Amino acid sequence: MSKYVLEFLVLIACVEFGTSIRCYECNSANNSMCIDPTIYDDETVQRYLHSTDCSRSAFQAPNPLASQQMFCRKIVQTILHKGHDPEVRVTRGCGWVKHHKACYKADNEDHLETVCQCFSDDCNSAMTVNHSILTIFTSLAFILLKYKMV
């Protein structure tokens, strides 16, 4: 019985608790890494691309109840300058007013924009699977295999 408790405690230690979501928060106007963080290695991204707890974000929801429903958002804008080349700007951050589509496009007089929303930690970066999730599934697989063979 004690070996089951020990394995359960090890598995629980791999799970991150909390109700708020973490999102990358940046603007390519002052951080070019914001355009596409997937071209950089993990260490560089962690060092130079800010990930924030949305419940403590500088851009917190005006309604305190909405902070429980926060999510990550990525906005890609093509700014149309008259007489100049268009400029692409990417903004990543926390959101609190959900749209009924995961991604949608807007076409305005001076810019085009694509807005996407997602609902897991740091999902607005398009990066690979989080290591803690991989650890949890691997642990579960080993436990299930072990007890299936007993």
Residues 16-21: what's their mean pLDDT? 62
Percent of the chain with pLDDT strictly greater than 70 = 63
The residue count for the chain = 150
pTM equals 0.63
Count of C-beta atoms within a 10 Å radius of residue 52: 20
pLDDT of 55-93, one tens digit each? 875 555 555 554 457 899 999 999 988 888 999 999 999
Asked whether 95 and 72 are in contact (CB, 8 A), the reply is yes
E-strand ranges in 42-123 read 51-53, 71-79, 87-95, 103-107, 111-118
pLDDT of 28-52, one tens digit each? 999 999 999 989 999 999 899 988 9
- Each domain of the chain, given as residue ranges in start order, spans 2-149
Q: Topology of 2-149 in CATH?
A: CD59 (2.10.60)
SS3 per residue for 124-141:
HHCCCCCHHHHHHHHHHH
